[in-house]
Structure 1
C-alpha cells in the first residue's frame, strides 16, 4: 500500500524537524519535503506531487492564507493548517477553513517540542483523514462576506413559517469539514427559526471565534453555549471547545448544560453527548442533522433520537469533506433522509412549515 506523501511548510526549522519526525514514524506516511516558505513549497509541490500539505499561517515572503488561496484555485489538494492558540490565530484558521483547508492543528505557544509531541496522534490522524478528503477547487481568493454565501442557497418555504414554540429544537453534529457545512445550514435560517444546538469537534480557543463569525453572517443569533442558559428560538448555541454540551429541562424550559466530563468517543465536545440528551429530553420535538466528519461519534445516539421520535437528516457522501460520521449514522439506521448539503436547510424549514404544531414533551 502506497504511503501518504506529505510536504511540511513552516518557517520554523524546529517545527519542520518535529513534524517531519512525527510523520516519518508512521508506517503509512512519509514526509517527502519540508519548506521554509510558500515559494519553496510551490516548487516542492510541482516536483514531489504530495498527497497532503501541512501549512503554517505566518511565514515570510507570502503568508499562509494567500498561498492557500492560490493553491485552492490552481492546484487543489488536502491542506492541514498549523495555527497558534490565539484569538487572531483562531480567526485566521477559520478563514483558512472557508478557503478549503480540510482541518487544522493548534500548536502550543510555549514548549513547542513537548507540545507537538503530545499532539502527534492528533496530527497524524488529521493527515490520514485529509489524504482521503474530498477537496474542491475554490473559485475565488480571499473570501468576502458576499462570497461566503452558499453558492446555491436553498429555497425557503413559500408559505411563512408558523410560529413555533420552544418545544422544537434542531440538533446538529459535525467534525472535519463541519465549520463550512454548519455555516451553509445556518445562513438560510429566518430570525424566528427554532432553537439550534450544535456540537462541532473543535479545541478550546476556537469556538468563541467560530460563533462570533457565524453571528455576523446569519439572521439568527449564534453564540457559544453557556451552562444553564435557556435555549430560545432564533438562537444557535455551539458547544464550547473542550466541553460537552447537552440539553436538559428546567420546569417548562429547555436549558444548555456545559460540562468538562471525560471525553466520549475520544472527543470533548462529543456529538454523542448532545444527541443522547436530545433523545432523552426532546423526543419527537427534535430534528437531528449529521454533517461531514471523521469517525463514528454521534451515530448510535442519532439512532436513539430516531427511536425516540426525532426526524433526522444526514449529509450525503458527494457533498461531504469526510463521509465518516454520516456513513456510520446511515449504517445505524438513524437517517430518515440523506441529502446534499445545500438541500438540508430547506428540508428543515419545509418540515417545520408542514408541522401543524410542536409536539409537547411529556415529563
Structure 2
C-alpha cells in the first residue's frame, strides 16, 4: 500500500531565526511536515525519541555539543538521514566535510541574512529536494557502515608491464553528486600514482572544493588539487572542479589544459557533469574513460551516453553501492554504461583499461 503520510522533519539549529525560517519554508511544501525544532543536540536527542522524525536538518556548528560529534553518536546508536545546514566559510566547509564523513547524507549552504526572495525560493526548492531524497535513504544508511569498510579495504593490483596507451593523451573523467564526496575518497585513495590525468566534477558550492581537494590529497597516492584556469592536466594528478564553476578539458599545443568556465548552470548545476563530459567528447580521444558515481538527478547522463556511443569506456556505479542511484541509474537506463560495478571494483576496472586495454 502506498505510504502517503508526510515526511516528518526535525530541525536542529542554535539560531531561533534559522529554526523559524526553515520551519516556515518547509511547512509550505506538500508532503513535508516539520514536527519539531531543537536548539542543541541534547534537546534533539530527546525529541528524536518522542517524535520519531524521518529526516533531521542539522546545523554544523552549535554550542554544548558540536554537530559532528552529535552526528557520530546518532549514526552509531540510531541512524537517521541527516541533511546538514552549512555556512559558506572555510570553517563551515571543513566541518561539513567532517559531517559527510561521519554519515550525513547531504548538505546545503545556508542563505545569507540579506538573501533576496529569489535566493530563498531557490534554497527552498533545493532543501525540499534534499529532504525528500534523504527520507528514502533509511535502508542505505543501515547498510552503508558495512559497505564502506569493504570498499576501502580492496586495493587493486597494478598489472605488470607497460600501460596500454599514452597517459598524456587520454583522460579519466568522474562525475558525482549526493554521496559522492565519500565515494570519491574510497575510489581515489586506492588508485596508484601512475595514471592518466583525472578530472572530477562533484556538485559542490564555491568555497568547499579547495578544502575537499586538500582532504583527498592527504589520503591519495595521486596528487589532488582544485583545478586552475589554463593549467596543464598532468598524469598522476586529480583536478577537482571549483565550486560554482564548470570545468572543460581542452587541448592546446598538444597537451590537455583546464578551462574553468563561469557559464550558466546546466541541469540546474554549476559545476555540471554534463559540461565536463561534453567537453571530453569533443576532444575525440579514443582511450579516455568516464565514471559516474552516486548522485541525485540525471546530470551528465546524456553526455556520458554520447561518449559511450563514440567508443569511450563508460563505467556506472551500481545501485547497491550507491547512496543515491540517480545519476548512474540514468546512464544505465539510457544504455550508456559499458560496465555497471560496485564502488570497490571500479578502481580495478580502470587499471585494466589503462594497463591492459581490457576493461570493456
TM bucket, shorter chain: over 0.9
Aligned to 1:120: 124
Q: 1:186 to 1:294 in 2, by over 3 A?
A: same
Number of residue equivalences: 350
Deviation (angstroms), 1:317: 0.5
Partners of 2:116 and 2:7 lie apart in 1 by 24
1:64 to 2:87 alignment: no
Q: Which structure 2 residues correspond to residues 170-319 of structure 1 after superposition, within 5 A?
A: 170-319=172-321
Deviation (angstroms), 1:150: 4.8
Partners of 2:260 and 2:145 lie apart in 1 by 39
Deviation (angstroms), 1:168: 2.0
Contact 2:170–2:285 (Cα < 8 Å) also in 1: no
Q: 1:160 to 1:178 in 2, by over 3 A?
A: farther
Contact 1:206–1:241 (Cα < 8 Å) also in 2: yes
Q: 1:161 to 1:341 in 2, by over 3 A?
A: farther
Per the normalisation by structure 2, the TM-score is 0.92
State the SS of the aligned residue for 2:218: helix
1:154 to 2:155 alignment: yes
Alignment gaps of 5+ in structure 2: none
- Select 1:55's aligned residue among 46, 58, 81: 58
Aligned to 1:349: 351
1:337 to 2:339 alignment: yes
Contact 1:154–1:343 (Cα < 8 Å) also in 2: no
Contact 2:152–2:186 (Cα < 8 Å) also in 1: no
State the SS of the aligned residue for 1:276: helix
Aligned to 1:143: none
CA RMSD of aligned residues (A): 2.0
Q: Deviations over 1:18-69 (max 9, x none)?
A: 1111111001111011011111111111111111100011212211010000
Partners of 1:40 and 1:137 lie apart in 2 by 27
Per the normalisation by structure 1, the TM-score is 0.92
Deviation (angstroms), 1:157: 2.9
Deviation (angstroms), 1:129: 1.3
Deviation (angstroms), 1:2: 1.6
Aligned to 2:82: 79
Partners of 2:69 and 2:332 lie apart in 1 by 38
Q: 1:281 to 1:103 in 2, by over 3 A?
A: same
Q: Deviations over 1:153-177 (max 9, x none)?
A: 2322352563843112100001100
State the SS of the aligned residue for 1:208: helix
- Select 1:20's aligned residue among 18, 23, 26: 23
Q: Deviations over 1:220-241 (max 9, x none)?
A: 1111111111111000111111
Q: 1:233 to 1:282 in 2, by over 3 A?
A: farther
The more displaced of 293-302 and 187-196 is: 187-196
Partners of 2:78 and 2:54 lie apart in 1 by 12
Partners of 1:58 and 1:161 lie apart in 2 by 50
1:135 to 2:145 alignment: no
Aligned to 1:31: 34
Partners of 2:48 and 2:219 lie apart in 1 by 35
State the SS of the aligned residue for 1:217: coil
Contact 2:10–2:36 (Cα < 8 Å) also in 1: yes
State the SS of the aligned residue for 1:318: coil
Partners of 2:72 and 2:218 lie apart in 1 by 22
Q: 1:46 to 1:154 in 2, by over 3 A?
A: same
Deviation (angstroms), 1:136: 3.8
State the SS of the aligned residue for 2:9: strand
Deviation (angstroms), 1:117: 5.1
